[in-house]
Amino acid sequence: MPKIVNLNEERTELHMGSGSVVIRKYVDGIKGGRTLDCDNVSLDTLKAGHVIIRDTVNGTYKPMPISGSSYDSLPANHEYIGVLVNDIPVSKPFAGIMTAGSVNEVAGPYPVSSIKSALKSAVPTLIFEHD
């Protein structure tokens, strides 16, 4: 017997986000992604290109903290890991994390200029460029 579909069911909107603009070339990333610890995040959405860090003490992955419209300092006992591949809601922080590839740095959510040198040293397989 065929399944009857209720067309009045709640639907979920799908937005492509900015991932295709920010992530210029995906080469490699963390297989299966990671769930981010967003306890101290005041945003509703994390945008593609957001820098991802890891707590070296307990191993949790987090979005890089921001201050106003730029990245804050890397917290103690944390390391740079990569960048977020797609826009994701903070309420469901299931993240694809790119560790090798090309990032359009001017299309990202925050300027990387203040952390670029340290980020490139930590993750040399990420290339930051723009047209």
Please indicate, yes or no, if residue 13 is contained in any of the structural domains. no
Q: Residue 106 sits in a domain of what CATH number?
A: 2.40.300.10
Q: Tokens 């103690």 label which residue?
A: 76
Res 31: pLDDT: 96
- pLDDT the model gives residue 14: 44
Least confident of 9-13, 53-57, 88-92, 118-122: 9-13
Question: What backbone torsions phi and psi does residue 36 show, to the nearest 5 degrees?
Answer: -90, 145
Does 33 reside within a domain? yes
Query: Is there a domain that residue 9 lies in?
Result: no
Task: Say how many domains are in the chain.
Answer: 1
Residue 5 tokens, joined: 């579909």
Task: Tell me which residue range forms the domain holding 51.
Answer: 19-129
Residue 10 belongs to some domain of the structure: no
Residue 2 lies in a domain: no
**What is the mean predicted confidence (pLDDT) over 52-81?**
96
CB 66 within 8 A of CB 81: no
Residue 8 confidence (pLDDT): 53
Does the pTM exceed 0.95? no
Over residues 105-123, the pLDDT tens digits come to: 999 999 999 999 999 999 9
